Amino acid sequence: AQSVAQPEDQVNVAEGNPLTVKCTYSVSGNPYLFWYVQYPNRGLQFLLKYITGDNLVKGSYGFEAEFNKSQTSFHLKKPSALVSDSALYFCAVRPRGGNNRLAFGKGNQVVVIP
């Protein structure tokens, strides 16, 4: 069975400081990895994905994520957080082949303090 862990409930960071949102996963094989962001009462917006190749993936709004196969992690990072980055962030995995369904982590609320 596939599972995604986002260990922190809420991440607080001062504006301008680096932001990290952690994600680890348990999936057989080499899954596809995703990050999505959700603003209040809105659907999910795609940030970035890892398919293959370079372990550092760059995405929308200045976000990036690093795939670490040995640690089965895919942490989301942004060098300098903005107040507008305050939102709910979801990590998701999808196995290659099989049922192709996304499995989501529980989400992390990010609060960027002005």
Shortest Å distance, C-beta 108 to another protein: 10
- Determine phi and psi for 62, rounding to 5 degrees: 85, 5
Which residues in this chain contact another protein in the complex, by CB under 8 A?
Answer: 32, 36, 41-46, 49, 51-52, 88, 90, 100-102, 104-107, 109
- Determine phi and psi for 63, rounding to 5 degrees: -85, 155
Nearer residue to another protein within complex by CB, 3 or 17: 3
How many C-beta atoms surround the C-beta of residue 87 within 10 A?
Answer: 19
In this structure, what DSSP letter does residue 84 have? G
Shortest Å distance, C-beta 109 to another protein: 7
For residues 49 and 64, the answer to whether their CB atoms sit within 8 Å is no
Nearer residue to another protein within complex by CB, 43 or 114: 43
Amino acid at 39: Y
Amino acid at 85: D
Nearer residue to another protein within complex by CB, 58 or 101: 101
Nearer residue to another protein within complex by CB, 58 or 106: 106
Shortest Å distance, C-beta 16 to another protein: 26
